[in-house]
Structure 1
Amino acid sequence: CIELVQPAVMVVKPGESFKLPCKITGYTATGSCTNWVRHASGKALEWIGWYCSSSDTGSINSLKNKIHYSAEASSNTVILHGQNFQAEDTAVYYCAREHS
């Protein structure tokens, strides 16, 4: 059974830095890929990036200077680090297992 757990609610004010954890059970955070998507109100779900390892990670161009990813092996968690988000970045952000 694979489960990815994120905080129920996280509200970030414009310009604030934040960390959004994705706690994983059922696969290894540092041995498999985790994708990230966002859903803005009234818009389609948008894929925004991935974390496979510290040397295999990336994001869409519009967020390249705003997000990066890391993983904590001890807690089997992938973390989205965000900074300088603005009103246009307002959305619900989700982690998702890469299809295998």
Structure 2
Amino acid sequence: MGSNWASSQVSGPGTVKPTETLEKTCKVSGASLTDSTNMYCVHWVRQCDGKGLEWLGGICYNNNIYYGQSLQGRLTLTRDTNKGEVYFKLTGVKPDESGTYYAARYTQCNRWTED
């Protein structure tokens, strides 16, 4: 992914049933969530079974929040700057949304393009 990415620790339930809510926590270390130099944005992506990576949304140092069109209205991103944590909440999970969900810190841009 390039040198501007840093891995983050993501926790939360491994599986949820359809229609339930999926909640994940990303713990960021080594930079403050409000630091525009080292912590521009935390992005969330997923890889559903048999599909490529999909950008879901991002929350930036200034608390600007961006959502991908596919999950608009069901995804909520929030943060706790004191704990250095970013929270992911996806409601009404669908059967075809099974897969792996990732969070990553990026230091340059505040939004991915959805190509």
Change (3 A) 1:50 1:98: same
Question: SS of the residue aligned with 2:33?
Answer: coil
1: distance between equivalents of 2:107 and 2:45? 14
Match of 1:77 among 77, 80, 85: 85
Structure 1 ranges of 4+ moved more than 3 A: none
Matches for 1:44-63 after TM superposition, within 5 Å: 44-52=52-60, 55-63=63-71
TM-score, normalized by length of structure 1? 0.84
| 1:19 aligned residue | 23
Task: Give 5+ residue unaligned stretches, structure 2.
Answer: 1-5, 109-115
Task: Give 5+ residue unaligned stretches, structure 1.
Answer: none
User: Structure 1 vs Structure 2: percent identity of aligned residues?
Assistant: 26
Change (3 A) 1:26 1:58: same
1: distance between equivalents of 2:8 and 2:63? 22
Task: Tell me the alpha carbon deviations over residues 61-90 of structure 1, each in whole angstroms, 9 at most, x when there is no partner.
Answer: 110021110001221000111110111221
Q: Does the aligned pair in 1 maintain the 2:12–2:23 contact within 8 Å? A: no
